[in-house]
């Protein structure tokens, strides 16, 4: 089989799966793993695929438009101490038997890292960085949303996951907005981010925001929730006093760490 034909077949396989291991691709194509890696490099260089720990994931350009100027690697460095404290406070709210939605973002990643090992807990997540932390914990169950990979946010998403996730119910959702405003509510930079957050909000008994103080009084392009849908906010000591009053007046519990 010519390389061009083989690469096209490789691409078609990846389009039909949420991810395929190099070994499985070699078996499917009846070639060596080295050949798969050479062919896969062509797809990676063209932006049609990514490789994550030996798993190849399809990434079509048409659905991979990223939020401008966002880089998860840069976000990890911003207010890292505050995110660590918020993450630990959020993890402390978990109870045995909980089913929880874990939103995307670096603050939620720190929460996942703070979860107690061997906990009787079902965690539903959508981002690779969060999944990396969860798989270290030996939880009762982990459910991962799948689909197309967005490398700047490390999020997997697809319309196909919506009916599956809508069938789940959670005791708590830990949600990380990109921005919040008193009048405009909670916003994020991308439509796929909104889809995930609405799934979490619609299917959870309690909705908890994890938000660092620099995100107050800011707005992103895509609205996903109103303040009436939120039960609790966990933030750092930089929260302005007028925001404390605003949230209290809304009947929203505030935990400052």
The 10s digit of each residue's pLDDT in 109-126 is 999 999 999 999 999 999
pLDDT for res 183: 93
| Torsions phi, psi for 23 (to 5 deg) | -60, -40
- pLDDT above 90: percentage of residues in the chain: 57
Q: What is the mean pLDDT of the chain?
A: 88
Q: How confident is the model at residue 65 (pLDDT cuts 50, 70, 90)?
A: very low
What is the pairing mode between strands 148-150 and 141-144? Answer: unpaired
What is the pairing mode between strands 99-102 and 122-125? Answer: parallel
219: which 2 tokens?
């707005």
Residue 177: C-alpha distances to residues 190, 208, 235 (Å) = 11, 11, 12
Please answer whether residues 129 and 109 qualify as being in contact, where contact means their C-beta atoms are separated by less than 8 angstroms: yes
pLDDT for res 55: 78
Average the pLDDT over each of 60-64, 138-142, 184-188, 234-238 and give the range with the smallest value. Answer: 60-64
pLDDT for res 189: 87
Mean pLDDT in residue range 59-78: 56
**Inter-helix orientation angle 33-45/22-29, to 10°:** 110
Mean pLDDT in residue range 85-99: 97
Which range among 25-34, 74-83, 129-138 has the greatest average pLDDT? Answer: 129-138
Mean pLDDT in residue range 49-56: 75
Average the pLDDT over each of 10-14, 61-65, 100-104, 217-221 and give the range with the smallest value. Answer: 61-65
Q: Please write the tens of the pLDDT for every residue from 5-52.
A: 888 888 888 777 657 888 888 888 889 989 988 888 888 877 777 777
**Cβ atoms within 10 Å of 124's Cβ, excluding its own:** 23
Mean pLDDT in residue range 78-104: 95
User: From CA 109, how far away is CA 174, in angstroms rounded?
Assistant: 11
Q: How confident is the model at residue 63 (pLDDT cuts 50, 70, 90)?
A: very low
Is the entire prediction scored with pTM above 0.75? no
pLDDT for res 61: 52
């Amino acid at each position: 089989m010519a390389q061009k034909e083989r690469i096209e077949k490789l691409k078609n396989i990846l389009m039909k799966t949420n991810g395929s291991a190099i070994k499985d691709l070699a078996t499917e194509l009846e070639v060596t793993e080295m050949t798969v890696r050479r062919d896969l490099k062509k797809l990676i260089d063209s932006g049609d695929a990514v490789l994550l720990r030996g798993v190849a994931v399809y990434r079509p350009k048409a659905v991979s438009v990223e939020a401008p100027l966002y880089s998860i690697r840069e976000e990890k460095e911003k207010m890292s101490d505050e995110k660590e404290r918020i993450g630990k406070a959020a993890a402390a709210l978990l109870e045995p038997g909980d089913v929880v939605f874990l939103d995307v973002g670096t603050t939620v990643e720190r929460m996942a890292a703070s979860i107690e090992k061997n906990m009787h807990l079902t965690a539903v997540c959508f981002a690779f960085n969060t999944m990396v932390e969860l798989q270290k914990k030996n939880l009762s169950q982990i459910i991962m949303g799948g689909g197309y990979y967005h490398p700047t946010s490390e999020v997997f998403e697809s319309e196909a996951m919506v009916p599956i996730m809508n069938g789940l119910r959670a005791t708590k959702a830990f949600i990380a907005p990109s921005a919040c405003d008193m009048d405009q509510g909670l916003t994020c930079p991308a439509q796929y981010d909104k889809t995930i957050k609405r799934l979490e909000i619609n299917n959870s008994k309690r909705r908890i925001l994890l938000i660092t103080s620099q995100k107050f009084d800011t707005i992103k392009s895509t609205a996903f929730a109103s303040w009436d849908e939120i039960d609790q906010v966990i933030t750092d000591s930089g929260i302005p006093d007028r925001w404390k009053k605003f949230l209290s007046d809304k009947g929203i519990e505030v935990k400052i760490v």
